[in-house]
Chain A
Amino acid sequence: MIRRLHIAAITLTAAAAFAEVAVPTLTSRVTDLASALPRDSVLAIENLLADFEAKKGSQVAVLIVRSTAPETIEQYSIRVAEQWKLGRKGVDDGVLLLIAKDDRTMRLEVGYGAEGAIPDAVARRIVDETIAPFFRKGDFAGGVEAGVRRIIASLEGEPFPAPRSTTLPIAVDRHLPMLFVGIPAAGMLMRRFLGRLVAAALGGIGMGVFMWLLSGHPVPGLWFGAFTFVFIVAPDSNRRTFTSGTRGVRSFGSSSFGGGFSGGGGSFGGGGASGRW
């Protein structure tokens, strides 16, 4: 009898495992699968969070689903957190605000490193005292925005390591394609005055330094620098093959630097607070 019960329990849990709500892939800071927020407020909150990440380095994301059933919001939330890996690796300064609209539950999941800035008691206050009153009035956009602002304010006071400097004095995103064409073109022009080798060396170094600054690692700088050097130094007849090469590089560059969002490798241990409205 007991054995039969056991088997029943196992099959039941197996069935439940199949019915679990899937974790969506992370593509932006605000993922609204329940259509709870108007488009402009999604954009406003995303911008708020992107600016904060650029300034502080911490990653905060919002996920709104209809329901987490059959799991509890805590079980679903930790699965999302483990898959999304918000926050920087080693710093673990990620925060996830999860809202299950139809269940009328929400949870603030706080990464290991952010538990000092947002201890459980503070997380509960954000959920119960900041967000829930808005939700009770049916104002999801207002609640999420107020909550996000308080999360940011709490994280701001914490002495996290400075963000890796990816902000260059000029708006690189916009000028990126131009620079990829511009540096080799300038090198070609200079070849007339400085000679082939000197111009190629200058162009190569320029591109190398630029890519180093942009990516934060010397290796891409080295590769792009060498590539540019070869491009400028090569005789005209061989350039056709290189040109197709740069075109590939250019599209790679703009796709990886323009938009999109992914977690930085942070880990979570179940800290935070849940609430209802």
Chain B
Amino acid sequence: MSSLSALRRFIRLSLSASLVAASLVSSGCGYNRIQSTDEQVSAAWSEVLNQYQRRADLVPNMVNIVKGYAAHEKELFMKVTEARARVGSIQATPGLLNDQQAFDRFVSAQNELRGSLSRLIAVAENYPQVKADGAFRDLQAQIEGTENRIAVARNRYIEAVRQYNVTVRSFPANMTAKMFNYTTKPTFSPAVEEAPAKPPTIEF
């Protein structure tokens, strides 16, 4: 009698154990979640790239307008043009998202462009004729708008990466991630961000 009830208990236990195991396998190996968060990261990143490109495209126009009034600010123009060339020379391949160092290099080149561009605008605003030029003000609005779009896109990228990284690090999706070679993705680190974000110093 007692052995029979032990057998029954064993059967019941193994049944429920296999049920739990089956539900774990079917509901949550995390593969789908990895896929969807990975896709969101890609989408957010391409929006960041879009807006970076938009800014780079506006640079030559700005340089030309300011040149018309302050041709002697040669060093300033050179710095902006160089920064833009550097940004253009880095290929924003998808591989960038799998390499924190390459990512940091790319982002710091972008931040350098932001720094020299905002310096150019700040200097240009000291020339009353430039400030009165409607084309300058329109272009300035476009550049400010683009900087804001970059900030928004960057924040959305940071959030998308956060979700993705939490997914690939936590159980049980981390096993799946390891199996399919999904690693954590780089994000905007404060060290890279802070340096060029300092307001430009202007000396005459």
Q: Which residues of A contact B (CB under 8 A)?
A: 9, 74, 78, 119-121, 123-124, 268-274
Contact = CB atoms under 8 A, between A and B. Distances in A.
A9 B137 CA distance: 36
Contacts, number: 42
B153 interface: yes
Contacts of B139: 121
B28 interface: no
A120 B144 contact: yes
A120 B141 contact: yes
B41 to A, nearest CB: 17
A9 B194 CA distance: 12
Nearest to A271: B145
B152 interface: yes
A270 B148 contact: yes
Given A269-B153, A270-B153, A124 B137 contact: yes
A269 B152 contact: yes
Contacts of A271: 145, 148-149
A268 B146 CA distance: 13
24 contacts: A9-B190, A74-B151, A78-B152, A120-B141, A120-B146, A121-B137, A121-B138, A121-B139, A121-B141, A123-B145, A124-B140, A268-B152, A269-B47, A269-B149, A269-B152, A270-B149, A270-B150, A270-B151, A270-B152, A270-B153, A271-B148, A272-B145, A273-B144, A274-B144
Contacts of B140: 124
B142 interface: yes
Interface string B8-48: 00000000000000000000000000000000000000010
A121 B151 contact: no
B142 A120 contact: yes
B156 to A, nearest CB: 9
Contacts of A272: 145, 148
A120 B145 contact: yes
B152 A121 contact: no
A124 B142 CA distance: 9
A21 B36 CA distance: 32
Nearest to A75: B151
Given A74-B148, A269-B47, A270-B148, A121 B153 contact: no
